[in-house]
Amino acid sequence: MQFIDYKIYDIGEDDNEILKKNAFGDNQKGIIIVYSHNAEEFSLQNAKDFLGKIIHAIGFNLENDTLCIPITQETSCSFRSLNQFDAKHLFVFGLTPHQLGIQANVSSYQEMEIQGCKIFFADSLKKLSEDQHKKRQFWVYLKTTFLD
């Protein structure tokens, strides 16, 4: 007899030191940016430049105000481990809620809130950078969240 009708994912204890090692930024505003990183698709410098423009547009500084964490195929990450970085806003690019251990059906470009942290899922940075419609959707969210 089975009482559970959904998959249970084993989320091991993530080593935040590994996440910090690859991360950049001082996180002074509690803005965590997690993105799927494939250097062949979108270089680390391209990612920094693109994220810098986004963060600057809402009046913040990428290096001072955020913590950016590139996630490779070799790196595991969960919401629980990310929330230990005092996340008020979590932006996730190119990863699904399930990949972060979040068992919720959330559409891309819509906000959800868990434990006081506003979470926003979007396409990969490369896809976002190339699609004007998706950029517009993202900008509307940023504007209403940070500028209104």
Q: What is the DSSP string of 57-79?
A: HTT--HHHHEEEEEE-TT----H
The CATH number of the domain holding residue 70 is 3.40.470.10
Q: Is 103 within a domain?
A: yes
Q: Is 111 within a domain?
A: yes
The pLDDT score that the predictor gives to residue 84 is 86
Q: Is 3 within a domain?
A: no
Arithmetic mean of pLDDT, 3-25: 65
Arithmetic mean of pLDDT, 103-126: 93
Q: Regarding predicted confidence, which is higher, 5 or 139?
A: 139
User: Which range of residues forms the domain containing residue 55?
Assistant: 19-147
The total number of structural domains in the chain stands at 1
Both structure tokens of 90 = 């979590």
Phi-psi region of 131 (alpha: psi -120 to 50; beta: other; left: phi over 0): beta
Bridge pairing between strands 111-114 and 31-36: unpaired
Give the SS3 label for residue 122: strand
Q: Is 1 within a domain?
A: no
Q: Is 13 within a domain?
A: no
> What would the pLDDT profile of 48-62 be if each residue is shown by its tens digit?
999 999 999 999 999
Q: How many other CB atoms sit within 10 Å of the CB of residue 128?
A: 21
Q: Is 127 within a domain?
A: yes
Query: What are 89's strand-pairing partners?
Result: 31, 118
Q: What pTM was estimated for this model as a whole?
A: 0.86
Q: Is 8 within a domain?
A: no
The pLDDT score that the predictor gives to residue 6 is 54
